[in-house]
Structure 1
Amino acid sequence: MKSPLVQCPDQCPGLHFCDGITLVGGGPASARDLALALRLAPVAVAADGGADRLIAAGITPTAVIGDLDSISSAALARVPSERLHRIAEQDSTDFDKALRALTAPVILGLGFTGARMDHGLAVLNSLVRHAEKPCLVLGPKDVAFALPAGETRLRLGPGDRVSLFPFARVTGTSLGLEWPLDGHVFAPDGFIATSNRASAADVVLRVDQPGMVAILPRNRLRQAIRAVSR
């Protein structure tokens, strides 16, 4: 692996990569999606049981992060011990543990949606709480990412779906949306902005603080990566 790797000791692994990371969980993910993700983000990292999926595809993960209660004994035997990063606390998900540990230009999450609704909500919660991380979660039909405070620019096609869901109280403005964000206060138990649409090729979203998740169609994955990449 070309990417330099720097590790911090104990139960706070700091894994820093110069290339994009494909972070694989234990949920549903097709071989085609895995191949796509690895083309865009070539460093393969597993969140706990995601290691089994990578090894089944013939890929030894560069790192495995989590409490390691889901990875199989067969997969454990295939991963060098120095690549296992156990974080024993039970107050967060393996996806959250991985986000805390990883630093990269972009993190593309795969295998974290499509199985259980509560797992999906936990993933979106982690995206919002770590909005400073350039992470996108790829689903069967969508790609989701958290908007950081300030401005996010997207190059889309007129008519593209732009769904925005608040996980906190957020205000903002927009350019290039059919229904502008201006003048609204968004909240999970209040006003939301799902099923909005792009009305122009250039869409600009500005929010006053983290708390908003953007959900775009799968065919806009590359545009979303460009918007969040560091």
Structure 2
Amino acid sequence: MSITVMSWNIDFLKRQASSSHGPPRALIILNQPFSRPLFDRLWNSCAWRCCADGGANRLYDIFSDALDTRSAFLPDLIKGDFDSIRDDVRAYYIQQGVSAVQDDDQDSTDLMKCVAAIEEKEHAEGTGQHDIIILGGLTGRLDQTIHTLSYLHKLRTSRTRVFAVTDDNVGWVLDAGKHVIEIDHDLLGQTCGLLPIGIDSTILTTSGLRWNLDNHPSSFDGMVSTSNHLVPEEKEVSIATSKPIWWTVELKSSGLV
């Protein structure tokens, strides 16, 4: 019986990435700070872009020194309960023809509302899944970070690829099974981690890391592989895990400039 191996890359962060190459991608901008170089890479690589409530403030403000270019970066949708978006920002984007949808459902977060919008778009158009790129979600308030970790853990059962990206790192959930991750050393720093979040424990086997694991148990009560290192000579990392885990790796700031 053949064993399925899931392959991963971060081509959406490459300078030459565009929305017309590779799988269709959707960008969700959260209400957290980000740099212009990171924003440019993600915006250009995604075909559809959505701001989660106050994420619209972040998008608007990043052009405070380049007002003439702001109108060239209009999201397809702004969605949330609108407890964070500023009045001037909301008015500007509505004037520019951007759809701003207020959803007061308090049983879903703004991130969840945006993912629901992507799924509605996919269903209406009859297309395959987008890869979802979340700009933010791993910095700032701890409770919001935990929500990102939890929500992506749950999404693994219905979405093929969902990434969370900040200026410091990129991370995603590896479901139970075998994975091969393409390593772009021009974009990635050396530090990485395999985090047993949302599970009791897992058994890990890896190759391509400085400190590899061989059928080693990992749990919050036991060993957690944090501050592991990529190896400059290795072009890929292989990971086998018996339960879902979070994979995270630092971004090289010089790789985005």
Tell me, yes or no, if structure 1 residue 213 matches structure 2 residue 218.
Answer: no
CA separation in 2, counterparts of 1:37 and 1:23? Answer: 10
Counterpart of 2:167?
140
Counterpart of 1:179?
211
The 5 A counterparts of 1:149-164 are 149-156=176-183, 160-164=190-194
Counterpart of 2:91?
77
Counterpart of 1:107?
132
Distance verdict in 2 for CA 1:83–1:159, change over 3 Å: closer
Letter in 2 for 1:218: L
Distance verdict in 2 for CA 1:88–1:159, change over 3 Å: closer
Say which SS state the counterpart of residue 34 (structure 2) adopts: coil
Question: Which stretches in structure 1 are left out of the alignment for 5+ residues?
Answer: 4-17, 223-230
When the two structures are superposed, what TM-score results if normalisation uses the length of structure 2?
0.67
Tell me, yes or no, if structure 1 residue 65 matches structure 2 residue 88.
Answer: no
Tell me, yes or no, if structure 1 residue 204 matches structure 2 residue 238.
Answer: yes
Letter in 2 for 1:88: D
- Map Cα deviations across residues 146-199 of structure 1 (whole Å, 9 max, x no partner): 112322211225993331111113333222233334322322343211112234
Distance verdict in 2 for CA 1:159–1:46, change over 3 Å: closer
Distance verdict in 2 for CA 1:183–1:102, change over 3 Å: same
The 5 A counterparts of 1:32-71 are 32-56=37-61, 57=63, 58=70, 59-71=73-85
How far is 1:68 from its partner? 2.2
Letter in 2 for 1:147: L
Tell me, yes or no, if structure 1 residue 191 matches structure 2 residue 191.
Answer: no
CA separation in 2, counterparts of 1:153 and 1:171? Answer: 16
Say whether the 8 Å CA contact 1:127–1:135 is kept in structure 2. yes
Say whether the 8 Å CA contact 1:96–1:123 is kept in structure 2. no
Say which SS state the counterpart of residue 191 (structure 1) adopts: coil
Letter in 2 for 1:178: R
Say whether the 8 Å CA contact 2:32–2:58 is kept in structure 1. no
Say whether the 8 Å CA contact 1:28–1:112 is kept in structure 2. no
How far is 1:133 from its partner? 4.6
Q: Would you identify which runs of 4 or more consecutive aligned residues in structure 1 move more than 4 Å? A: none
Which protein shows a greater Rg?
Answer: 2
Distance verdict in 2 for CA 1:185–1:141, change over 3 Å: same
- Map Cα deviations across residues 105-129 of structure 1 (whole Å, 9 max, x no partner): 3222223343223322222222212
Distance verdict in 2 for CA 1:151–1:72, change over 3 Å: same
Letter in 1 for 2:86: S
Say which SS state the counterpart of residue 102 (structure 1) adopts: helix
CA RMSD of aligned residues (A): 2.9
Letter in 2 for 1:201: K
Say whether the 8 Å CA contact 2:189–2:249 is kept in structure 1. no
Q: Percent identity?
A: 25
